[in-house]
């Protein structure tokens, strides 16, 4: 990080900076991409273009609108906002399609802010956070098990989420590198326990091209508060998912369309009133 960035605070996050970071991470990431056949490219790219042609005909799109589209597409690229835009508006259908036959815990979108290799905290640990980390303390634990209910020791639970202002470390300035990001390894009983704080709702950066189309259409830019998770165990299919909070704002109007009724937590106050606690068990399908 540059010295200049170090002097900024998280509320100085700008779409172009967040987008550039998300684009850089995506480029560095190991892609699942197998070679795609010419037949498949022709079928999928051809159908996507045909769908666009239908929209143009159906809505009598003008040259002014066509030029506005070109200008907007150029801007999304210049600000590095493709990961943000695609993960908000498209990824949920990919997730639904890819996982439609998989058993076990429901998945949800990964989003643009996953960073691999977060600090491992064992079976029970506190996510890296600032001394004065704002937000309600949250104890979140559970068991990772296979579909027949056998607990899975040595499973990995990766957890990452926004802070109490709705910002993610490594994508908003001024936050410690691994703030509110960590990995757990389940113990002999398949159990893990994470100590963290409740995240706030997340607003898509709204000063860039993605924000411009949201504003121009009169939509809102919010996602409900959520935890991101990746749960993996040898011999099982990895689950990428999110968990939400009962009664949370925007649960029914998530801009990323990524909520599911099975993924809603209902934390309760801890006996000593020091925060809230909740359990959630993950079930992994065999690979």
Residue with tokens 């998530």: 254
Nearer to ligand DHB, 160 or 184 (CB): 160
Per CB under 6 A, does 112 bind ligand DHB? yes
- Give the list of residues 6+ apart from residue 179 with CB closer than 8 angstroms, or none: 127, 128, 129, 130, 133, 163, 169
Considering only 111, 125, 128, 135, the residue that binds Fe ion (CB under 5 A) is 111
Q: How far is the CB of 89 from ligand DHB (least distance, A)?
A: 8
Burial track 132-162 (b if 16+ CB lie within 10 A, e otherwise): ebebebbbbbbbbbbeeeebbeebbbbbbbb
> Which residues are paired to 183 by β-bridges?
120, 158
Per CB under 6 A, does 87 bind ligand DHB? yes
Considering only 82, 113, 160, 244, the residue that binds ligand DHB (CB under 6 A) is 113
Residue with tokens 């498949």: 40
Which one of ligand DHB, Fe ion, none is in contact with 144 (Cβ closer than 5 to 8 A by kind)? none
C-alpha 224/C-alpha 259 separation (Å) is: 8
Per CB under 6 A, does 223 bind ligand DHB? yes
Secondary structure element (H or E) that encloses residue 54, with its range: helix 38-58
Angle at Cα 228 formed by Cα 250 and Cα 253, nearest 5°?
15
Number of residues that bind ligand DHB (CB under 6 A): 11
Per CB under 6 A, does 202 bind ligand DHB? yes
Number of residues that bind Fe ion (CB under 5 A): 1
Per CB under 6 A, does 82 bind ligand DHB? no
> Which residues are paired to 241 by β-bridges?
229
Nearer to ligand DHB, 185 or 257 (CB): 257
Nearer to Fe ion, 111 or 205 (CB): 111
Nearer to ligand DHB, 143 or 229 (CB): 229
With contacts defined by CB under 5 A, name the span among 38-46, 65-73, 75-83, 110-118 that binds Fe ion.
110-118
Per CB under 6 A, does 214 bind ligand DHB? no
Strands 276-279 and 264-265: unpaired
Which tokens belong to 157?
């639970």
Nearer to ligand DHB, 202 or 282 (CB): 202
Strands 137-146 and 276-279: parallel
Per CB under 6 A, does 111 bind ligand DHB? yes
Strands 239-245 and 226-232: antiparallel
Give how far Cα 95 sits from Cα of 133, 241, 250, Å.
32, 10, 20
Nearer to Fe ion, 91 or 191 (CB): 91
Per CB under 6 A, does 88 bind ligand DHB? yes
Residues that bind Fe ion (CB under 5 A): 111
Residues that bind ligand DHB (CB under 6 A): 84, 87-88, 109, 111-113, 202, 204, 223, 256
């Amino acid at each position: 990080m540059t010295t200049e960035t170090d002097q900024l605070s998280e509320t100085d996050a700008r779409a172009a900076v967040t987008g550039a970071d998300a684009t850089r991470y995506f480029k560095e990431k190991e892609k699942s991409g197998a070679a795609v056949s010419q037949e498949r490219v022709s079928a999928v790219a051809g159908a996507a273009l045909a769908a666009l042609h239908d929209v143009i005909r159906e809505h009598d799109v003008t040259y002014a609108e066509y030029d506005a589209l070109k200008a907007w597409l150029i801007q999304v690229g210049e600000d590095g906002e493709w990961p943000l835009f695609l993960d908000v508006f498209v990824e949920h259908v990919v997730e639904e399609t890819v996982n439609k036959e998989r058993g076990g815990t429901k998945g949800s979108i990964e989003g643009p802010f996953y960073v691999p290799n977060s600090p491992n905290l064992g079976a029970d640990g506190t996510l890296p956070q600032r001394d004065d980390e704002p937000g309600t303390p949250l104890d979140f634990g559970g068991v990772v098990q296979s579909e027949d209910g056998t607990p899975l020791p040595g499973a990995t639970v990766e957890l990452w989420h926004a802070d109490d202002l709705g910002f993610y470390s490594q994508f908003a300035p001024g936050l410690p590198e691994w703030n509110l990001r960590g990995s757990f390894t389940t113990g002999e009983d398949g159990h893990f326990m994470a100590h963290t704080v409740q995240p706030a709702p997340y607003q898509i950066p709204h000063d860039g091209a993605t924000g411009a189309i949201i504003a121009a259409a009169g939509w809102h830019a919010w996602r409900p508060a959520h935890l991101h998770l990746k749960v993996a165990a040898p011999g099982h299919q990895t689950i990428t998912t999110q968990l939400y909070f009962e009664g949370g704002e925007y649960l029914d109007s998530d801009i990323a369309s990524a909520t599911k009724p099975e993924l809603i937590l209902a934390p309760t106050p801890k006996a000593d009133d020091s925060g809230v606690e909740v359990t959630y068990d993950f079930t992994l399908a065999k690979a």
